[in-house]
A and B are shown apart, each in its own frame.
Chain A
């Protein structure tokens, strides 16, 4: 069971959140080529280690959060607001 420390609501149970995937990928400009959209949509580093990812506090404040979580231990190191600049962790 994850416990995510939402910057707005405090520590809440995993069951309140919805996972949103890898937060390190950046959407290319609208006129980007197919290759760049392929990389954005489908290509993932899939780290075995620290992972910067989106979580949506769906059953809480409904804000999107950036979370740095370890994919082996499930330890959560950072929880930040969606607009915060969280550097991509080196796993």
Chain B
């Protein structure tokens, strides 16, 4: 399987595109592996990729219930950033952003990483102060952040409603290195990259049980038979509770819905990512011209990948308040993803009470930007049986020990994070 390159594209153009082969193999599951990763989404694939590339563990299987790219990794709003207040979060997400910056060269795959800038708007003095604090916290950790005023925002995003009667825009917190990436390409690139290092990516293989010997994991039951492994990592997003329960582990997670929307394609009107400060709303324009946007959670436990109308109406109202031309746009597509929400809004990348069983979950609708960082830290945790410095705080025990990382200050209510 050769590298992708401009020269290769040229040659294939001359021979009618007949030389391309499949990007990753379709292996039969072996009876045993050194590590099994449950879940072939972005996090599972990145974990397997870094296990092989950084830790030299290549006898790894990624078990995917459906097909690569059809889960949350292909159902998000593709935003990448590291603008968090707390060091437990921003150091981790900054590691992830740095990995994003080199991901295309690393994978030899164009993930269309576009560092077009992310602006969080502020609409009041107190909100400006909060953003100044967050920006300063980031800068103390060496992460780029700029507090910009109204005119600077106007220069970057002139289509916003600066004089909205209720929420006039005063300025914003800008992270220039933030932006978007192509979600499908990330899944495909990581699958191809892991496969090239020897990882078996096994699709249409649903895990139905986790087999234990006492307090130690020994393998997994699947729809394609039993597969043994001394180490099993769970990276299944919205179904984290269900899969962990197979091993008798209960998690501080609830599953909630987050909707996303794409409008019809229009000419370029917005070349950065903007988030509304007066509500939960974020938008960017894709390369195809559609405005990609989303808002907050639907508000109650759900596994229905549809989304409900009251929240859809709320998100669209926020969009119109921020960008008046939204009222003329038609929504082309709408869907909901099932989010594994923790009780403090911060993920879990950690060991569990069962030896050899690790969990990577609780992504609280921040999962996409975390993909490479999460894979990096989870691979470290699985390989060394101890956390990387950037996920040391992301344990299950933090809730029992009172060491929650509550970025939003919303209290122990998953549907409010």
Which residues of A pack against B, CB within 8 Å? 1-2, 14-15, 19, 21-22, 34-35, 38-39, 41-46, 48, 51, 53, 69, 71-74
Contacts and interface: CB of A to CB of B under 8 A. Distances in A.
Interface of B: 239, 241-242, 245, 250-255, 299-304, 308-310, 343, 399-400, 412-413, 415
Pick from A34, A35, A71 the residue with the most CB of B within 10 Å: A71
A47 B291 CA distance: 34
Contacts of A44: 241, 250-254
B253 A74 contact: no
Contacts of A45: 241, 245, 250
Contact of B308 (A1, A46, A71): A1
A29 to B, nearest CB: 18
A38 B254 CA distance: 15
B343 A42 contact: yes
Nearest to B344: A42
B413 A1 contact: no
Contacts of B302: 71-72, 74
Contact of B303 (A15, A39, A42, A48): A48
A21 B302 CA distance: 11
Given A21-B413, A42-B399, A46-B301, 20 more contacts: A14-B308, A19-B300, A41-B343, A41-B399, A43-B250, A43-B252, A44-B250, A44-B251, A44-B254, A45-B241, A45-B250, A46-B242, A46-B251, A46-B253, A48-B255, A48-B303, A51-B301, A71-B255, A71-B304, A74-B302
B241 A35 contact: no
Q: Max chain A CB contacts within 10 Å: which of B251, B300, B412, B413?
A: B300
Contact of A43 (B242, B251, B303): B251
B254 A46 contact: yes
A48 B242 contact: yes
A14 B298 CA distance: 11
B310 A15 contact: yes
A19 B415 CA distance: 9
